[in-house]
Amino acid sequence: MKKRTLTYYLLSFIIGSTVITSCSGDRDRLSRDKMVEVLHDIQLAEAVYQTRFNDFRDKEQKDALIQGVLEKHGITQAELDSSLVWYADNAEIYMRVNDSVISSLREGLVKIEKLLPRGLDASNVNNSILPTYYYLSGNIPTLTFNIDSTQVKNYPQFSLEFNTLGIQGRMKGEFEVWFEYADTTIIQNQSLNRDDHFKVLGTADTLPLKNISGYFHIDSREVLNNKVLLYNILLKNIETPKDSTTTRVDSLSVK
């Protein structure tokens, strides 16, 4: 099915093009590796608005999501279009690109499946506190969560990870988690300034936690009509490695 979707994407572009010039040479196209990366992310973006059509009813919203992919890779629509023309004229190379994209998507699925260790109790993964997917926008720029004293005992080894899609240009955001103890609060903060995978692990502290809370936020002045997707949001309890407490933490403070 993925192979068909990629092929249809290329064919629909060719059919919809009013002019296909013969001047598109090697220097006008994206490299094979770059093309694989771009088409991989376009497939993810298309999967998002095809499965969440209520959130992406307007063409402008879909276009904004694709534009986020282009900006992530530092290319323009024109560069993608000219590359598609070149690969259309070199079908054998395109099919190899296509196969690489499919392989990459499958590898991504395997990685997601591995996020849930075998034998992990379902009660340790809680989607009632945080959804699996969420959209930040100019109207709703913040998502908060709270694990109160009645629930926090279920997370002695706290882990939270997620991916972002749609962070463009000058957009700025942050992700912050507060670990509240009886006499102190430890804060972990990460910047959200590009599409990436983010992860935070609980602090290696033997003191009992009173509360865990946090938020995801995008500056609404920069988001405007676009949407930023938080996806693969996974909140769970894990066994923390002895030599690791956090990953990609920009700042850690104690109050």
Helix %, strand %, coil % of the chain (to 5): 40, 25, 35
The angle formed by the CA atoms of residues 201, 203 and 207, to the nearest 5 degrees, is: 140
pLDDT at 127: 53
Topology (CATH) of 122-254: Jelly Rolls (2.60.120)
191: its two tokens: 């910047």
pLDDT at 112: 53
pLDDT of 3 higher than 60: no
Residue 19 pLDDT > 50, yes or no? no
Largest separation between any pair of C-alpha atoms in the chain: 71
Separation of alpha carbons 163 and 192, rounded Å: 10
Domain boundaries defined on the chain: 2-114, 122-254
Model pLDDT, residue 18: 34
Please say if the pLDDT value at position 6 is more than 70: no
Residue 215's pLDDT is 92
237 vs 157: CA distance, rounded Å: 5
> In the beta sheet, which residues pair with residue 187?
178, 253
CA distance 97 to 35: 7
Q: What are phi and psi of 117, to 5 degrees?
A: -60, 150
pLDDT digits (tens, 9 = 90+) for 109-152: 655 555 444 443 333 344 578 888 888 887 788 889 898 888 88
pLDDT at 100: 87
Cα separation values, 69 from 72, 85, 220, Å? 5, 19, 20
Q: CA distances (Å), 123 to each of 61, 145, 190, in order?
A: 36, 18, 27
pLDDT at position 205 is 62
Check if the beta carbon of residue 192 is closer than 8 Å to that of residue 164. Answer: yes
Cβ(126)–Cβ(205) below 8 Å: no
Q: What is the pLDDT of residues 84-95, one digit of tens each?
A: 889 888 888 888
End-to-end alpha carbon distance in the chain: 52
Which of 51-60, 195-204, 241-250 has the highest average model confidence (pLDDT)? 195-204
Query: From edge to edge, which strands make up the β-sheet containing 211-218?
Result: 142-147, 211-218, 173-180, 185-191, 251-254
What is the chain's mean pLDDT, rounded? 73
Q: Which 3 state secondary structure label does DSSP give 71?
A: helix
pLDDT at 15 over 70: no
- Name the pairing type of β-strands 251-254 and 185-191: antiparallel
| pTM assigned to the model | 0.51
State residue 239's pLDDT score: 56
CA distance 97 to 80: 14
Place of tokens 């990685």: 111
Mean pLDDT value across residues 5-29: 48
Q: Can you give the pLDDT at residue 244?
A: 40
